[in-house]
Amino acid sequence: MATRTQSTRADHKWGMVIDLDRCTGCQACVIACQSENNIPLNDQSAFLDGRAIEWIRVERYWEGDYPDIKARFLPVLCQHCDNAPCESVCPVYATYHNNEGLNVQVYNRCVGTRFCGNNCPYHARLFNYWEPVWPEDLRNQLNPDVTVRTRGIMEKCTFCIQRIRRSTRGGKQVEDQAFNPACVQACPTDAMTFGDLNNPDSRVSQKWEDERAFRVLEALGTNPSVKYLKQVDAHA
Amino acid sequence: MYYRRTLTDAQINRELLDVVFRTPMWWVVIVSCLGLIVAGAASAFGFMMNQGLGVTGLQQPIFWGFFITNFIFWVGISHAGVMISAILRLSQAEWRRPMVRAAETMTVFALMTSLLQPLIHAGRPWRIFYWVFPYDWARGIWPDVRSPLVWDPTAIITYLTSSSLFVYTALIPDLAIIRDRSTGWRRTVYGILALGWHGNPRQWKLQGIAGILLSALILPVFVSVHSIVSWDFGVSLVPSWHVTVFAPYFVIGAVHSGVSAVVTLMILMRKLYKLENFIWEEHIDAVARLLIVVATAWLFFFWLDLVFALWLKEEQEMTVWHLRLFEPPWSWLFLAFIVFSYIIPVPLWMFRRVRRSFTWMLWTSLMVNVGMFLERLIIIVPALMRKGPWVFTYDTYRPSAVEVTLIVGSIALVALLLMLFSKFFPLIPVWEEKEGQKLIDEVKVGDRVIPALVKEH
């Protein structure tokens, strides 16, 4: 597929498929991401202020009318768009597309104009309004592979780039499913699949072609690297 | 023929340069008050730097708030300069004379203040130089020219440079007048600034050419600056920002607010510096008539913006407009905006009595700028609140005390800079006034009275 691989130089093109028919909305992915990526604890006030930082969040919406009503869940993370609206508006190249199909955020370059946040239709980009703090007894659980972000900069899901780097360092060949981002690893219902879309045999490549597959806000033409699977039930 | 009051050169010198040579008590009081407000805003900024942007009312979907509103607002105000001085100069509108310098000076100060706003707004202002100055000092990477945020400083710094040159070129003959009338260190300073001006024909000719050239060169800036600022929104994906009409809509809106601000400024200066002999009802009348046209053109573009949204019936865009028009508090702000910026002032300006009343014009022109500030706020914030179908947070934006302080501080800063400028330099160009006088001098030839000077067109 032409749309799948814009970056041809690299060996990899990372992508994800999320099966919404399997998602139970348990939020395990949210917690896993939180601890893997050194995201400060979101207490009640962070949510009330509208400043909670969640690289992946589970959006809940309702289908049908009471009493025949169903809760539906949609885990939303950075879609790593191949045609990312956030990238072209950053004046300092703090966010750009790397040749593995990742939309990467360079914290040291970021000056905090927040234009990328405005331009992301998925609300995947988050701003550090305060200096991050952790309770004393949680200090030692910080992941040494992940930068602790200072206040005043944007951050977002990286597809756990630290795990990608560690596994592929020095051009090492990796087998499919040899590693996964924290959210995928934590998913109890196996709803999320991560892998290399350039490898036609990978699990993610196979699910990518599933007839239930769709992309969110596809009409915007952002060409995301994340697809969702959902059985459309005409009688729901 | 345009009516003019006859003033002697000596009277012009005396009345316009009065404040340069003595410091009235009220000036000291006003400047200290403004200085205090600016100092207050500076400490609010320091507090925000120390604590983080958490002290603002910004939150997750609403990344831009009062600071960007204020940025657009001051760039808008700055459009008065090019409108009044360049366009009216090139079209030889006689009534421009007393307001060219005030307008240009306000342009310069408004632009400086507007440049401060993105700096205040950024998450890490101490790193802003990486963004604004396209020099590859240490990072091995250049600014991304695809970003409208790189176009902004380019446009604004171009405008600032040309406006500063414009003010300075027009100031040189007046600097020489002050130099000739002062002694001691003041004479030295003004002497250096006057660049050896002696008023010989060659110097006048060069100065005239420079004025016309700069006017002509500023004209493209007239179109470019606010167009580029509007592209901050136009090139984004945010519904209701993503429209092509924004560039002309913003430009004409900028002229609307800028020229109104000149009216406010002229009336206040007339009162403060007792310039009754120079700023008359006729001047304000002429500006008000210009404003009717500008405001109506602006309303047309505003209407287009709305119609395009209704025409498309694009779901997300309709959601944004619904929020703007029907959901409080935005519906109230929207009402205030349209009433203040058009519905009250423009019909009033249709009456000659209103146009010639300084009190009415002061309040209506102030009203326009309150409305235009609200316009920018209503463009920015509701669009971000409903920018996608996934905004599951339905909280609204409430500017914090820090943000309000910084907005008030920016107004005080422009006022303070204008007060300081008008203390050391005449705010009404002395030589332009004298030139204007020359144009109406008449001589008697036989039994006929004819103009002493024939103006070349």
pLDDT tens for B255-273 read 999 999 999 998 998 888 8
Is residue B198 helix, strand or coil?
coil
Task: Tell me the average pLDDT across A94-112.
Answer: 90
pLDDT given at position B5: 63
* Domain limits, chain B: 9-451
CA of A118: which chain B residue's CA is closest? B63
For residue A223, list chain B residues with Cβ-Cβ distance below 8 A: none
Q: Are B96 and B177 in contact (CB under 8 A)?
A: no
Is residue B445 helix, strand or coil?
strand
pLDDT given at position A3: 46
Tokens for B230, please give them: 């509007």
pLDDT given at position A62: 86
Distances in Å between the alpha carbon of B372 and those of B42, B69, B295, B365, B440?
25, 10, 11, 11, 39
Hey, are the CB atoms on B60 and A109 less than 8 Å from each other?
no
Closest CA–CA distance from residue B340 to any residue of chain A (Å):
29
Choose among A88, A123, A152: nearest Cβ to B61. Answer: A123
Task: Tell me the average pLDDT across A164-193.
Answer: 89
8-state DSSP, A107:
T
Phi, psi for residue A147 in degrees, rounded to 5: -65, 140
Superfamily, domain B9-451 = Formate dehydrogenase/DMSO reductase domain (1.20.1630.10)
Q: To the nearest whole number, what is the mean pLDDT of chain A? A: 88
Task: Tell me the average pLDDT across A39-67.
Answer: 88
Is residue A126 helix, strand or coil?
strand
Give me the residues of B, 373-392, that contact A with CB < 8 A: 384, 387-392
pLDDT given at position B391: 62
The dotted CATH code for A14-229 is 3.30.70.20
Q: Kindly give the parts of chain B with pLDDT less than 50.
A: 1-2, 456-457
pLDDT given at position A228: 94
B329 preceded by cis ω (within 30°)?
A: yes
The β-bridge relationship of strands A192-196 and A14-19 is antiparallel
DSSP per-residue letters across A181-222: -HHHHH-TT--EEEEETTSTTSHHHHHHT-TTEE-TTGGG--
The contacts of residue A140 (CB under 8 Å, 6+ apart) are none
Structure confidence by residue, pLDDT tens digits, B181-210: 888 888 899 999 989 898 889 998 998 899
Q: Are B430 and B177 in contact (CB under 8 A)?
A: yes
Rounded Cα–Cα distance for residues A135 and B351 (Å): 67
pLDDT given at position A10: 62
A67 preceded by cis ω (within 30°)?
A: yes
Give CA B383 to chain center in angstroms.
25
Say what the pTM is.
0.91
Answer whether residue A233 shows pLDDT above 90.
no
Residue type, A116: C
